[in-house]
Amino acid sequence: MFFKILVLSTIVIGLTTGCSSTHRASHSARTATEQLLISEAIIRSLPREPNGPLPISKDSKIILDISGLTPDQSLLQQVLTGWLGQQGYLVQKEEKNATHRISVIVGALGTELAGTFFGMPPVQSVLIPFSLPELSLYKAQHQVGYVKFHMNIFEIPEGRLVGSTPTFLADTYYSDYTVLFLLSFTSTDLIAPPQTGSFHRNPLNALDIRMEEAKFWTGKENSETPPMK
């Protein structure tokens, strides 16, 4: 009887230690998914309409400065520089050549992570010579990219406040689910998120991605493919 219990216990332990999946998030400071959450949130916060919300004429010469509590604000500054140029404003490198200064106040820029777990967490013990992996009956990890900022516009050199913009606000999401130990799937609004694993994995198609981006910017389902730049 004791021998049967020992054999059964050995089989159960072998199955539980063998049926597990591992995923290392990244070897870099930020995962590609986290970078996309932030960068796409910035892009989505900017109006698609050609007439922007700035209370100055389109041919104004402007200089841009930005204030916030995150190093990611440098990315926001570069995206805004391109967007303002597309709107018709003349972005200057030096204040002496500018007629207006746009101060960008970053309220928040980053990601948030939350999760739900039901199952057995990983077990490590000094009494037994092996450890048990995490066994997830249900596990969900939700990651959100978020951006919130506004702009104050001043005349140069007087420094008179011309006006302030409404708040620019947007978010993105990426959710990762595991059910019954091994069944995994994701849900996201990112245009081209990284794909991990080998089952049902298709290579990214640059043409499809450009069509999805064009659909997002125009708001049309049958947008023509934009030309290569």
Identify the CATH number of the domain in which residue 90 sits.
3.40.50
**3 located within any domain:** no
Supply the range of the domain harboring residue 214.
Answer: 197-229
The structure's pTM equals: 0.76
Residue 49 reports pLDDT greater than 80: no
Contact between 86 and 123 under an 8 Å Cβ cutoff? The reply is no
The answer for residues whose C-beta is within 8 angstroms of residue 67's C-beta and 6 or more apart is 73, 103, 104, 105, 106
**17 located within any domain:** no
* Residue 90 pLDDT: 94
Report, as an integer, the average pLDDT of 178-192: 87
What is residue 192's DSSP assignment? Answer: S
- Asked if 191 and 203 sit in the same domain, the reply is no
Report, as an integer, the average pLDDT of 109-134: 80
What is residue 159's DSSP assignment? Answer: -
- Asked if 37 and 143 sit in the same domain, the reply is yes
The SS3 assignment for 66 reads strand
Report, as an integer, the average pLDDT of 38-43: 95
* Residue of 154, 184, 148, 183 whose CA lies nearest to 166: 148
Residue 110 reports pLDDT greater than 90: yes
- Asked if 70 and 85 sit in the same domain, the reply is yes
36 C-beta neighbours (distance < 10 Å), count: 20
Q: Which long-range contacts (CB under 8 A, 24 or more apart) does 83-90 make?
A: 83/46, 84/52, 87/50, 87/52, 87/54, 87/58, 88/58, 88/59, 89/54, 89/56, 89/58, 89/59, 89/60, 89/61, 89/62, 90/59, 90/60, 90/61, 90/62
The SS3 assignment for 61 reads strand
